[in-house]
């Protein structure tokens, strides 16, 4: 007999949320709050990636001359954009969403309006994606000013990063609906997010890893997002681009469905 939780998980994965303009209203609410604290919000978003860039790109880069025909700083520059978006999407999707749900009761209050739960969760995911994407753009601007990424090739690379931010935003919101306390997110961060930031081709080519870890890395969204960004920035495309794109789209839809289904049940309970 199929376990009840497994059956529910399968149903959630293929239950597509229905939403209308209410999702934009939720997005706009978050934007209005963000616009009042934009300087403090953006400052920490891109300062940390730049610290890594200068410490590793210019510090360690002095000893690592070239990787794939480019300087070490140029090699890790796309990773700085991608990991910045990943971390912002994860933290906003988990800690911020959980706080609104269990401490501030923001979503329960919004439900008193004509908005449905699907519109609330889609609006939240859209906003978290937007904020994470802003971090990618902020880092990209600095990298372009330093001459580490080509400005003319940034637009399609940023489009891929938007998809990747959507995946992590939906993942974070889904986790927040499962969590019993803030400690849950520490496990996810230590066991998944931090390892991804290290072993998905961020600071060295994937080929340097043991073969089983290379295959495992292909199951992680940061790998696919980062590979596609590097393809756009270098102009060196291959068939893996389409695999990466399909993976990100499928993961985004899958995790959004899970988040929406769980979100509704969590609010009702």
pLDDT tens digits, residue range 160-196? 999 999 999 999 999 999 999 999 999 999 999 999 9
Would 64 be classed as within a structural domain?
yes
CB atoms within 10 A of CB 65: 8
Q: Which of 201, 185, 181 is nearest to 193 (CA)?
A: 185
Residue numbers of the domain that contains 194 = 20-268
Would you state the torsion angle of the CA atoms of residues 242, 258, 84, 110, taken in this order, to the nearest 10 degrees? 130
Count: domains in the chain = 1
Would 12 be classed as within a structural domain?
no
- Section 230-252 average pLDDT: 93
Tracing tokens 């938007």 back to the chain, one arrives at 162
Q: pTM to 2 decimals?
A: 0.93
Would 249 be classed as within a structural domain?
yes
Would 135 be classed as within a structural domain?
yes
Would 14 be classed as within a structural domain?
no
For residue range 194-235, list pLDDT tens digits in order: 999 999 999 989 988 999 999 999 999 999 999 999 999 988
Would 1 be classed as within a structural domain?
no
Would you state the torsion angle of the CA atoms of residues 202, 166, 262, 117, taken in this order, to the nearest 10 degrees? 160
Q: Measure the CA–CA gap between 5 and 128, rounded to whole angstroms.
A: 28
Q: Measure the CA–CA gap between 267 and 269, rounded to whole angstroms.
A: 5
Tracing tokens 């068939």 back to the chain, one arrives at 239
Would 6 be classed as within a structural domain?
no
Instruction: Find out whether 178 and 184 touch, Cβ atoms under 8 Å.
Output: yes
């Amino acid at each position: 007999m199929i376990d009840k939780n497994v059956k529910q998980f399968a149903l959630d994965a293929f239950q597509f949320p229905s939403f209308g303009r209410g999702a934009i209203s939720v997005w706009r609410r978050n934007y209005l709050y963000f616009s009042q604290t934009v300087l403090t919000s953006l400052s920490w978003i891109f300062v940390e990636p730049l610290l890594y860039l200068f410490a590793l790109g210019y510090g360690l880069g002095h000893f690592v001359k070239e990787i794939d025909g480019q300087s070490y700083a140029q090699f890790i520059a796309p990773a700085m954009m991608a990991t910045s978006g990943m971390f912002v999407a994860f933290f906003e999707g988990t800690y911020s969403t959980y706080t609104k749900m269990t401490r501030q009761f923001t979503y329960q209050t919004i439900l008193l309006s004509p908005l449905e739960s699907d519109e609330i969760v889609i609006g939240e995911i859209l906003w978290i994606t937007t904020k994470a994407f802003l971090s990618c753009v902020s880092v990209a601007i600095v990298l372009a000013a330093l001459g580490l990424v080509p400005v003319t090739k940034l637009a399609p690379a940023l489009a891929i990063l938007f998809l990747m931010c959507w995946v992590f935003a939906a993942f974070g919101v889904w986790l927040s609906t499962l969590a019993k306390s803030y400690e849950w997110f520490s496990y996810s961060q230590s066991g998944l997010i931090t390892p991804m930031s290290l072993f998905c081709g961020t600071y060295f080519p994937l080929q340097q890893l043991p073969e089983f870890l290379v295959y495992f890395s292909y199951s992680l969204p940061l790998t696919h997002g980062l590979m596609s960004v590097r393809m756009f920035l270098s102009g060196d495309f291959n068939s893996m681009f389409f695999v990466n794109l399909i993976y990100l789209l499928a993961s985004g839809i899958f995790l959004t469905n899970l988040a929406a289904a769980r979100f509704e049940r969590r609010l009702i309970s």
